[in-house]
Amino acid sequence: MTVAAEIINIGDDVATALDTIADLLKDAGIDTARLDASLLVGAATGESAAGLIARPERRLSAQESDLLSAMTARRCAREPMAQILGSREFWSLDFDVSADVLTPRPDSETLIEAAGQHAPATGQPFRILDLGTGSGCLLLALLHQYPAASGVGVDISPAAIAMAGRNAERLGLDVRSSFMVGDWTASIAERFDIVVSNPPYIASHEIEGLEPEVARYEPRGALDGGGDGLDAYRTLLPLMSEVLAPDGTALFEMGAGQGEAVSSLAQACGLAVEGLRADLAGIPRVAIIRQR
């Protein structure tokens, strides 16, 4: 029996659906099968996790069953949960996501934490530039954290810019943010106190070896950093002298093992590397850069 056929018979009640879907996802090679099953059933029924536990005998309507079947088929094909559900939490905020943007990841919260140590004093207005903004999660998380700040997000993808704008509006941050389609800093004519970026940093030949959720479904332009993963840094770092305020700080997310190379590229551009910030796994994740 095919997966699609099995999914049609997920059962008539919550408990049966949870067990059936978890088994299907496990067979598809998904390590978080039970958790994902719970999230899918919750999304299809509108029930919280507590509600599912409290009422395992709850019957599924025909509409809920059809929706759940379709969502489960997508997850069995290794489509990311964030894209199926249409949202992802980042820095305690809920962001709309799609296949047009990189899904916000916990690793990137390291950049928000690092920026907090270099932002002007609380209550003091300052400007933030987010290069390769995607969903807008970096810029909008910082604006949420600093009510006196404002900023600009740039991305080469019109679809990403449209989504970032929707996220800003939904989070009530559209008054202090603007988003523009552009090629890095080409359309920027001002200087910023904080520059942040999560550029593509995966070596081209490594992408196909990533988890299917990433290799098949994430936008390749947000992943592919060229032959050695460093192409975006070679482009961006020389531009910092044009967009950083005299006392400004740039924070770049990096891949595992790239700290030394990114630091060397920055220093070759006449920039000072103030330090590298490690993520929760102890991997240097963010390069903190200033003008000399």
What does the DSSP 8-state code read for residue 202?
B
Contact between 138 and 112 (Cβ < 8 Å): yes
Reported confidence tier of residue 9, pLDDT bands at 50, 70, 90:
low
Domain ranges of the chain: 3-77, 87-291
pLDDT in tens, 155-177: 999 999 999 999 999 999 999 99
Helix intervals (H) in the chain: 3-8, 14-27, 33-45, 49-54, 62-76, 81-85, 109-116, 137-145, 158-170, 212-215, 231-236, 240-243, 259-268
Predicted local distance difference test score (pLDDT) of residue 21: 93
Residue 95 has pLDDT above 80, yes or no: yes
**221 closest CA partner among 156, 288, 141:** 156
Percent over 90 (pLDDT), the chain: 83
Q: What are phi and psi of 89, to 5 degrees?
A: -80, 140
pLDDT in tens, 22-75: 999 999 999 999 999 999 999 999 888 787 888 888 889 989 988 999 999 999
**84 closest CA partner among 95, 96, 94, 74:** 74
Reported confidence tier of residue 8, pLDDT bands at 50, 70, 90:
low
Q: Hunting for tokens 């941050």 — which residue is that? A: 173
Predicted local distance difference test score (pLDDT) of residue 275: 94
Reported confidence tier of residue 81, pLDDT bands at 50, 70, 90:
very high
What CATH class is the domain 87-291?
Answer: alpha beta
Predicted local distance difference test score (pLDDT) of residue 234: 97
The mean pLDDT value for 121-126 works out to: 82
For the chain, give the mean pLDDT. 92
Residue 10 has pLDDT above 80, yes or no: no
